[in-house]
A and B are shown apart, each in its own frame.
Chain A
Amino acid sequence: MCRVVDLQQAVLAKNAMAAQVLRTELAARGTTVVNLLSSPGSGKTALLERELRLARQRGVSTAALTADLATENDAQRLARSEVPVKQVLTDGLCHLEADMLAGHLHHWLPDGTRLLFVENVGNLVCPASYDLGESLRVVLASVTEGEDKPLKYPTAFGLAHLVIVTKTDLAEAADFDEAAFRAHVQQVNPGVEVLLASVRSGEGAGELVDRALAAADGTPVHAPVMARAHA
């Protein structure tokens, strides 16, 4: 005997729920999460190291959690900024999920942390589908990756609250067409802010911290069209 049941359930509902619980719990502790996504090698760690140091100098209580498939190299680099850092090894998994993050924060996240930066696994496909309870989702792309990156990874760029172009000191050498990049970003995520940054030249120093603090203070972040889906 067979029968058919109408379910109408979102497959990722459990993660969405876990993310909402984490967001609420962290808000009660005064912590705002910033989720950083990019391809491998876009410069997430270098940018974050600079911004963590600036945040510490400005007296903002900050912590960072970095996820990789393997090695603790990123945590060692981030630790140079002298803020609390935790390395998560995903054992091959291509993304973080909200309940995994919650588990790692338990017993580690220092009390009074205002900003928690999460450096996701370097990957523009899988992490895009998982809300981590963040208030600000930042997608990075370096000038060497090509102006069409937003079109190739529309879900990642389409759900970003903020886009940062990194390694702008190499823009000329890489023949980076900034106007084309901006147009592609606007096509998949109209209205999202695009910042320029270079750790080498110092361009954009402190802007990520500024945007994170604004989000922490309750300034409404950009609302991507893709996030306004009737899914």
Chain B
Amino acid sequence: MGAGQTAAAQDGEAMHEMSVALAMIEQVEQAARADGAHGVTHVRLEIGELAGVVPEALAFCFELACAGTALEGAELITRTVPGTARCAGCRTTWEVGMPPQLLCPHCNDAAGDLVSGRELRICEVGLADAPPAARERTRASINEES
């Protein structure tokens, strides 16, 4: 378990967003190492409506967990992906909404597929040659694109 999880647990604010943040940081650090970069400027993340992750809670955990890593000061840019489903029978596609409606609004059959809405995906990482200390320190903040 990472230090971040312990910190969150001590506050009585145990949440899986901290585990998600730690998993993100691990993957981004790997990508940075592979590239020979020393710092990360931003991470762009897609969060599906049905991924079970709260963007605000994730931004909070991300900022805490980035401290002392190559991601310190990195900006987290999230995009919420709406849930959409497709009917196997009549091929209707619809926005499932929240709470989701997974029965076809046209023929009332079960959706054949969830086309989108379960994403929890790192799309893009901004890499910098300079370590975080050499860059202007900016407070990691959440930026909703949509």
Contacts and interface: CB of A to CB of B under 8 A. Distances in A.
A4 B100 contact: no
B3 to A, nearest CB: 12
Interface stretch (A6-14, A171-179, A205-213): A6-14
A143 B45 CA distance: 38
Interface string A137-165: 00000000000001110111010000000
15 contacts: A1-B128, A7-B124, A8-B123, A9-B121, A11-B45, A92-B6, A93-B14, A94-B14, A128-B52, A129-B52, A130-B16, A154-B100, A190-B109, A191-B110, A230-B116
A188 B100 contact: yes
Interface of A: 1-15, 69, 91-95, 97, 125-126, 128-130, 150-152, 154-156, 158, 186-191, 225-226, 228-231
A153 to B, nearest CB: 9
Contacts, number: 154
Nearest to B26: A14
Contact of B128 (A2, A14, A155, A225): A2
Given A126-B15, A228-B113, A14 B23 contact: yes
Contacts of A128: 52
A1 B134 CA distance: 12
Give chain B's interface secondary structure class.
Answer: mixed
Nearest to B16: A126
B43 to A, nearest CB: 9
Contacts of B5: 92-93
| A interface secondary structure, majority | mixed
Given A5-B124, A155-B51, A230-B115, A187 B9 contact: no
A189 B123 CA distance: 29
A230 B8 CA distance: 32
